[in-house]
Every structure is written in C-alpha cells, then in structure tokens.
Amino acid sequence: MDEQSEKIGRLWTVSIAVPSSIVDNAQSAELKSYLVGQIARSLVIFKIDEIIIYDEYCIPGTPEQVILDKRKESMVQAIRILEYLECPQYLRRQLFPIQKYLQYAGLLNPLEAPNHLSSKDQCPYREGIVLNKPHKQGSFVNIGLKQDCQVDRSLQPNVRVTVKLEPNSKKLRGKIVSPSEPREKLGLYWGYSIRMANSLSEVFDGCPYEGGYDLKIGTSDKGDNVDKTIKKIPFTSSMHSLIVFGGLRGIESAHESDESLSHVQETSELFDYYLNTCPNQGSDTIRTEEAILITLSVLRRRLTEPGRKTVTKTTKQINNTSSFTMFGIFALILIIFEILLFTRSILFIINEDPSMLNGFGWQETSHLLTLSISRIICFLLWIFFMNSQLSLIPWSKDQFELSMEDPMTEEITLNPCSPIYIGRIRQINR
C-alpha cells in the first residue's frame, strides 16, 4: 500500500510590522479609523498571523503608560481598532465598552474572517468569553450560540478564549485550547494577534515564537528589485517570516531613532532581504497602506507555496504495482474469453449448417474479428477507468490516520487583561 499526504494543518506564520505614525497622516478621525480598517482587511485577505505596531520615534513606555501618553495616541487608536475588528461580533459588546477610539467603528468594513462565525455556522472551534457562572467542574463560556458551553477549566470571567467543541455530546461541552490550534491542526486561518513595540529593535526582540523570526524582509524604495530577488528568498525553509514596513520617512528613520541599533551602519543589514516591491513606480510616494497590499500581493504565491512545513493527513491507498497487476490479469482473461467466443462462433456455423462455409470468406471473418477487437478495447478502457477510480479510495477506516508534526502539549497559561490588548489564553509550552 502507498501513502499519500494531504496538507490539513499549517505550522508556519507570517507577521508584518507597521509604524503607528501612518495614522497621523490621515486628515480626520473618520479617515484614521478607515485607514486602520483597510489594513485589517489586508491582514485577513492575505492570512497574516501577527501584526506589530511599532513607534518609529522610540518613545519608551509600558502598556499602562502608553494609553495615557498623548504622543502615542495614534498607536493606541490603531491597536484598539485592530482588536475590535478581529474580535467576533457576538463578543464585542462585552469586551469593548464605549470609547472615543471606536467612535467611527460603524463605518468600517467587516473582516468576515473564518473565526467570525454565526450561530448557524458549523465549526469544531469557536471563540468565546468566560462568563461569571461558577461551576464545580469548570466554567461556562459564551461562544455565540443560544446555549452556553461548559469547558473543562475554571477561569476568571471576561477572558477571551478559544474553545474546541466536543462532538456527539448531549450537552454543549468544550475544551480550552490555544488560539493557534485551528491553524496548526486544521489549517484554518483564525485571525491575527496584535503586538506593541516601542522601537524597531523591539519588533525583532519581542518575537513570541520560539527561535524568533527566521526570515526578515524590509521594504523600501532603496531596496533591491523584488522581481530579480524573489526567487532567491528561501520561503520554503522558513517557519516564521516577518515583513517590516516604514512610515512617511521610511524604515531608515526608525533605524536612526533607535539607539540600540546604532552599531548597525546600513538599514538593509537589519534584514535578510531588503526589497523594493514596486519598482519603477509612477507616483513619487507610496503610502504604507498601499505598500502593504502591493507587497503581500507580490509575495503571496511564495508565502503560501506547498513546500512549507504543514501538518499532514496520511491516507493509505492501493499500491500502483498491484493495481497494474490486477489490470493485466483482467485484460488476459478478457482476451482469452474473446478468442473462445470467436472459435465458438465458427464451430456453431460448422455444426448447424456446413454449407454456409462455402460463402464464408475473408470479409465475414474480418467482420467477426472487428467485433471481437472492439469489445476487447471497450472492456480494457472500462477496466482502466475503474482502476484509476479505485486507487483514490481508502480501503478501510482503520487505514485512515493523522500524523501530526510538532504535537501540542496540554499546558496553557492565562495572559492578564492589559489596557491595550484583551488577554487571551495562549499556549507557551511546546
């Protein structure tokens, strides 16, 4: 039996970093909100897993300090709108109170992401929020259905979680899992995470993935022509890719403002590849929200190509050698049968009326041979078609199995609810 693998999970990730200063470039509060909404749409369209909002002026501050710092108001607004849009609609009222940053959220286009499920949608995973309903055997979670889901852990209320529903259960029950599990096990795009960075160096140093970003790409009009470089970029061997975009003054300005990167002479040395993704541009400038769409469109095929590491579903199938052996046996039996049928026809004529042989010449013989050969060809084609169909069907349920690369552990950790980012249950031990 041969084994064929079908990709069902995705272990690799793609992250982008965007400066908060691009929000200041909009002329009004409505346009600022709409600009961030367009970036959120781009993230979902191209299945970006993480977005980092960084401060190109390198103003330090903790999340609690940032929310009170007027100099970082654009960063807070961008993060808040991105959080709001990524959150499923049935959880927004509980997680996001009325605030000035979401004043024009009603003008924004919905993301319609796979994790934004309605009550009629069927999916083994759903996003939810822990309710203040004490229970001896766990907690109750609102997952957007008429009935609350009982989970296997006691959690603090008002925390957003990802729930894996238990199949074939009389009551609605589920299990708390990592937000990355739908992507890693089923290949589902499950929204993006948001991270704040006070400088360009924090974009690299604060990577949440083990081993950091193994492929760093910078975008600039001073970079190399993407058309000549794209084939050299080793996307297939990278697990966590990062694409960094600059603001009005480019990534070079963020590099100059970051004292921790003063030992690096050229900005291009910070990245594995420094690309100009829109060479020979007609306009003097390309806005960052435009550069995101252009860059991700250019790199889309390489970012999602089949060679990257995935979780595979292995199905045992009919061995090709044995299939062709069966095909040969059927063909041989068919040919013998037709020879016997042709011989029987001649013997029947001789036994019934021997005088008919006087007018039985080459034309009559060729006619019988033609009929026999036609039947042989039709039967061979039918056998070949049936053989090709059978090779695609697994023989039994026992031979269907899942082989998971990098299996998940059961240990999870609660992140506290910060003023900037709503805490989610994430898995940190692998």
Per-residue pLDDT tens digits of the chain, which is 430 residues long: 444 444 578 999 999 999 999 999 898 999 999 999 999 999 999 999 999 999 999 999 888 889 888 889 999 999 999 999 999 999 999 999 999 999 999 999 999 999 999 999 999 999 999 999 877 788 999 999 999 999 988 899 999 999 999 988 788 999 999 999 999 999 999 999 999 999 999 999 999 999 999 999 999 999 999 999 999 999 888 999 999 999 988 999 999 999 999 999 999 999 999 999 999 999 998 999 999 999 999 999 888 764 555 555 544 443 444 445 566 676 677 677 767 766 766 666 556 555 555 555 555 566 666 666 776 776 666 666 665 544 443 433 333 333 333 333 333 333 333 334 444 443 333 3
CATH architecture of 125-183: Beta Barrel (2.40)
Give me the CATH code for the 13-113+191-304 domain, please. 3.40.1280.10
3-state secondary structure the chain: CEEEEEEEEECCEEEEEEEHHHHHHCCCHHHHHHHHHHHHHHHHHCCCCEEEEECCCCCCCCHHHHCCCHHHHHHHHHHHHHHHHHCCHHHHHHHCCCCHHHCCHHHCCCCCCCCCCCCCCCCCEEEEEECCCCECCEEEEECCCCCCEEECCCCCCCCEEEEEECCCCCCCEEEEECCCHHHHHHCCCCCCEEEEECCHHHHHHCCCCCCCCCEEEEEEEEEEEHHHHHHHCCHHHCCEEEEECCCCCHHHHHHHHCHHHCCCCCHHHHCCEEEECCCCCCCCCCCHHHHHHHHHHHHHHHHCCCCCCEEEEEEEECCHHHHHHHHHHHHHHHHHHHHHHHHHHHHHHHHHCHHHHHHCCHHHHHHHHHHHHHHHHHHHHHHHHHHHHHCCCCCCHHHEEEECCCCCCCCCEECCCCCCCCCEEECCCC
Instruction: Give the residue extent of every domain in the chain.
Output: 13-113+191-304, 125-183
Provide the whole-model pTM: 0.72
